[in-house]
Amino acid sequence: MFGISALWHGVALTDLSEMKIGMNTYFMLSAGAYLIIALALVLFIRLCIVREWISLKSGFPWKAMGIGAVAGIIVFLVILLSGLSFASHGFQHMVVDMLWQVLEQAIGGLMVSLGVIYDLHRLFMEAEQAR
């Protein structure tokens, strides 16, 4: 999520050139924020599995992407309401930025689901070898 965010804001939108803080400060704060977002996604998806709100048997990656998309909307709203947005380019820029946050966090949800699937597969293979 961190890497694709840097590409989006640095290459596609050229927002990074308009920042008022230094690049090192931005990347450190951004890395910390993405670690917190990723941890929240992992914990919430695991909670959904444990509470059986989502099933691993039917469309688990899609459901995890949906959770990530909702997280993207929440992240966008927090950024918008706190005034931490890159620049005020009007309504169109705001809509594109929101759609990007949704896509970016949906990809994060997909990565979390693939990690969960890999972890469960590894545990299954270890249990099979123990027999």
Return d(Cα 17, Cα 7) in angstroms, integer: 13
Return d(Cα 55, Cα 50) in angstroms, integer: 9
Structure tokens at 88: 């005020």
- Residues 80, 31: contact at Cβ < 8 Å? no
Tens place of pLDDT per residue across the chain (131 aa): 667 776 666 666 666 666 677 778 878 888 898 899 999 999 999 999 999 999 888 899 999 999 999 999 998 888 888 766 655 567 777 888 889 889 999 999 999 999 999 998 888 888 888 76
Helix (H, G, I), strand (E, B) or coil at 53: coil
Confidence (pLDDT) at 107? 93
Helix axes 23-50, 91-130, angle to 10 degrees: 50
